[in-house]
Amino acid sequence: MSHPQGKWNIDSAGVDGVLATTREVAGGLEGEAKSYAKNLEHAAGHAGKLSTEDGAIGAVGAALGQFALATEAALKFVFTRAGKSIDGAQNASNKYAIGDEQMAAEAQSKALEGTRIPPFHLAPQDKK
């Protein structure tokens, strides 16, 4: 889909800056995911138990475990999608910049069509 006026105006340097910040934030998501898993496990282990036996887990702990299993694929999808979105935006910006350079070269070439550069001759040097 093109711009309503048929023109694009993408600031490639601006895109690079935003994507660098986004990559930095996304890089921290791995730590957040590990913290989430650790805290969920901790909560499940301390939510009360139906039995006093070692390894027993309570109803809330079991529900938290089921929640973790049910949401694991969605969490992985978010991380994968974020990475692919960042890469896609970078690739699109790069292609735009390349296209911009190609259009500029074509415009310069067309501007020179039909023109002839006169031959260059050195003027004779003055003799002293």
Q: Which of 103, 108, 90, 110 is nearest to 7 (CA)?
A: 103
- Minimum mean pLDDT range among 13-22, 77-86, 92-101, 117-126: 117-126
- Minimum mean pLDDT range among 72-86, 87-101, 102-116: 102-116
Q: State both tokens at 108.
A: 């310069």
Kindly tell me if the per-residue pLDDT of 2 is higher than 60. Answer: no
Contact present, 38 and 32 (Cβ < 8 Å): no
Q: Cβ atoms within 10 A of the Cβ of 74, count?
A: 8
**Arithmetic mean of pLDDT, 53-80:** 84
What pLDDT is attached to residue 24?
Answer: 92
Q: Which residue has the tokens 């050195």?
A: 122
Alpha helices (runs of H) in the chain, residue ranges in sequence order? 12-27, 29-45, 59-112
